[in-house]
Amino acid sequence: MEDATLVRRRRLTLVACIIGSSLAFIDATVVLVALPTIEVDLDLGLSGQEWVFLSYSLALASLYLVAGSLGDRFGRRLAFIAGAAGFAVASAIAGAAPDGTVLIIARFFQGVAGAFLTTNSLALLRGVYGDQAGRAIGLWTAFTSVAAIGGPPVGGALVEWASWRWIFYINLPLAVVTVVLAHLGRSDEKRSATAGRLDIPGAVLAAVGFGTLTYGMVEGADKGFAGLWWAFVIAAAALIGFVFAERRAENPMLPFALFRKGNLAAANAETFLVYAAIYGFLVYFTLFLQTLGFTPFEAGIITTPPSLVLIVLATRFGALADKYGPRAFLTVGPVLIGAGALISMLVSSKSDFWVFGIASLVVFSLGLAMLVAPITATALKSAPAELAGVASGVNSTVSRLGSLTSVAVVGLVVTLVFESKIASPDAQPLTKDQTGALLDASVSGYRAGMLVAAGLALAGALVGALFVSNREALGGVAVIPQAAPAPAES
């Protein structure tokens, strides 16, 4: 029977991880609600507004792997607490920003701190909960989903009735609570630090590679990829250099021996494919609803069921995967996600939504709840405990890149099909029938995009069915020989 003090400390750590990660997740999007008001107040201009959002996202995506590696080396709890403290300081500066330049810089440092919060929260749960990490990650998923749902409305209320600056100031007491709970939750979890010098070349190359790749994907999806070829060239060169640097490094930030474990490689490959499917569906389904005549507010309300189902079921599926192994969940979950995307193709009018649209959301939501906690737990538990931070950083980076790639690729397919229908010889003349012709082209483009999303989901299911091993997941993971153990508190 578990010691009551250990159970209490685990719970304190879990609550700290939920609050800390929620800060990072909410600030990725809540600023969008405030941007028009901030633009008027600080005279940002269009470019300034873009960089208020982009500076945070770039720092976050660039440093997932670096933040996880530093947590492994110096202690995940320490790195998590430092991330919370840094997030508070950056939020205070953002709230008090006298001009756009200060705000953009503060947002960048919020992203840096956010990378430490998210990667080390998951790695900390892996270290504290051990074989029960799936259930803990399910709880983490459920409650951070609550924050994700509530964040934008709360942010909108603060902007309207107080000041846009309070969307940053409100982070301060939450960050203090995070630090206190994380400190009180200290337990006897162990880490193994890698001896020797910090892998600075690897850290720099990873940050440059993932940062420029993220920039290219985000800006390319918005403005076209042709003018951003240089970002992809830099990203490719940096990431190739990263691979060579890690293979030559005495103490690499990312030991490639990690990927000899089948489940780690499979879980991350499936993460890329399925998160691409998830975001490909959610982004374009939401846009498609507005094309059919739903208001933006209505479309937002309609697409909340996946988050609500996650809140209710993620913990259960995480616990079941801990008990029986993740393979079935990582196979059936993506199949349901793909099926949801395919069912949504039957929607061609507002009235169709109330049958086929709701059916697609129900199926999609169940698949999402079945997948998220087990796939994250599998990616973390497949790595040795001393490298849980690196494993978390890899998985966070892969999921982020999958979602960005999907939004770009599915968007390209939707656009090409839409334009081909409008330009085709048998298209309706754009006179009084213009609305009908545009709607028909939009439906065709949406259906093509959902075929891509469903294909990605089914490819992920195939990876889960063929390459994820319940025996490996339930039997533990051996420590990688290159890591020199040095017991210390995380």
How much is the average pLDDT of 168-181?
A: 93
In the chain, what are the domain boundaries? 1-186, 200-252, 258-475
Residue 194 has pLDDT above 60, yes or no: no
Fold (CATH) for 1-186: Growth Hormone; Chain: A; (1.20.1250)
Between CA 37 and CA 28 the distance in angstroms is 17
What does the alpha-carbon distance between residue 452 and residue 230 come to, in Å, rounded to a whole number?
27
Domain 258-475, CATH among 2.60.40.1120, 1.20.1250.20, 1.10.340.30, 3.90.420.10 = 1.20.1250.20
Q: Which helix (H) or strand (E) holds 87?
A: helix 76-95
Do domains 1-186 and 258-475 share one topology? The answer is: yes
Assess contact for 412 and 453: CB atoms under 8 A: no
Confidence of residue 433 (pLDDT cuts 50, 70, 90): low
Average pLDDT estimate for 212-218? 83
Q: What is the rounded distance in angstroms from the CA atom of residue 204 to the CA atom of residue 194? A: 18
State residue 1's pLDDT score.
Answer: 43
Residue 413, sorted as left (phi over 0), alpha (psi -120 to 50) or beta, turns out to be alpha
- What's the gap between Cα 282 and its chain centre? 14
Helix (H), strand (E), coil (C) string for 397-434: HHHHHHHHHHHHHHHHHHHHHHHHHHHCCCCCCCCCCH
Structure tokens at 37: 């008001």
**pLDDT-based confidence at residue 65 (cuts at 50, 70, 90):** confident
Give residue-wise pLDDT tens across range 465-490.
999 989 888 875 444 444 333 333 33
pTM: 0.81
**H helix or E strand, kind and range, residue 331:** helix 327-344
